Amino acid sequence: AKEPVRFLVTGAAGQIGYALVPMIARGVILGPDQPVILHMLDIPPAAEALNGVKMELVDAAFPLLKGVVATTDVIEACTGVNIAILVGGFPRKEGMERKDVMSKNVSIYKSQASALEKHAAANCKVLVVANPANTNALILKEFAPSIPEKNITCLTRLDHNRALGQISERLNVQVSDVKNVIIWGNHSSTQYPDVNHATVKTPSGEKPVRELVSDDAWLNGEFITTVQQRGAAIIKARKFSSALSAASSACDHIRDWVLGTTEGTWVSMGVYSDGSYNVPAGLIYSFPVTCRNGEWKIVQGLSIDEFSRKKLDLTAEELSEEKSLAYSCLS
């Protein structure tokens, strides 16, 4: 029998956590042959709710679930984990300054960085979901210097999947036949959903999305804003944020990272920039990546037109500003 893989979910008593932990326990990420142990962290005010989630995990009698650690102690939560999905964070509340929210999250991510660095399993892979996701991941990277930068990522797969969904709805094709959209940059409304290299599988072969959707005004306008604003649209409709799709996309992110992407297909991940596509090095920025043997690689050599260039730069500028703001909270 395989050794169980230990998954950490922070903010596990929250909305995304509640959708995510049963997916992990059912083997959605690594498949039906891989036992798992769940580590769930939340803060003391949520301890009772967290215990309720633990009770439900017991009640669901998941055959793959070999243990549950539910705790408010960050060190206990991080000890021995192989994969950490960081969903817990401080939300922006009515009337709060951006700097105040940033400052709360910087201190959370700084302390989780140290706990992971000291107590997680070797080669632990980290996915940051909590907003501001890119900058939280950057802080984590800075304060966990012994965790290789290639092991620290943030979630833009939800935006990627939203873009696939919009194209599939527009063309009335299966979402599984659409591929290679790209989310560039920040997981925020400045992100750039790019379809210039996306294709659709049709009965007469693979066709560019640009050819099938001849309406450039839609592709360059409403499509982009719909994907950028989708989070807000879900909150408006549901009165809660998008938890189901965020949890599902987090599973996609980890699965593809660990098990690899399909030949000829890339996905979007927030990763540490090496300066590819003239994106400033040292930001956590969403790029198209392929994954093999548990490592991601930025897809190289894609052509970037003038329209796209501006959008890549705009979202990079926002990330540089967020980075400075985060650093100003440290001093």
- Considering the complex, what minimum distance in angstroms separates the CB of residue 267 from ligand NAI? 13
- Considering the complex, what minimum distance in angstroms separates the CB of residue 20 from ligand NAI? 9
Interaction between residue 244 and ligand NAI (CB under 6 A): no
**d(Cα 151, Cα 148) in Å, to the nearest integer?**
6
Which residues touch 92 (CB under 8 Å, ≥6 apart)?
98, 101, 131
Longest dimension (CA), the chain: 59
Secondary structure class of 28 (helix, strand, coil): coil
Q: Restricting to residues 76-95, which ones interact with ligand NAI according to CB under 6 A?
A: 87-91
Give the one residue of 42, 142, 256, 322 binding ligand NAI; rule: CB under 6 A: 42
Q: Is position 187 annotated as part of the catalytic site?
A: yes
- Written as six digits, the tokens of 147 are 């965790």
Give the one residue of 46, 198, 298, 319 binding ligand NAI; rule: CB under 6 A: 46
Give the one residue of 9, 29, 158, 258 binding ligand NAI; rule: CB under 6 A: 158
Answer yes or no: is 162 a known binding residue.
Answer: yes
Cis omega (within 30 of 0) on the bond before 91? no
Interaction between residue 101 and ligand NAI (CB under 6 A): no
**d(Cα 196, Cα 174) in Å, to the nearest integer?**
19
Q: Which stretch binds ligand NAI (CB under 6 A): 138-146, 240-248, 281-289, 306-314?
A: 240-248
Q: Which stretch binds ligand NAI (CB under 6 A): 24-32, 124-132, 272-280, 320-328?
A: 124-132
Answer yes or no: is 129 a known binding residue.
Answer: yes
Q: Which residues pair with 36 in a beta bridge?
A: 5, 65
Interaction between residue 227 and ligand NAI (CB under 6 A): no
- Side-chain-side CA neighbours of residue 143 (13 Å): 20
Give the one residue of 71, 79, 82, 131 binding ligand NAI; rule: CB under 6 A: 131
- Written as six digits, the tokens of 109 are 């991510």
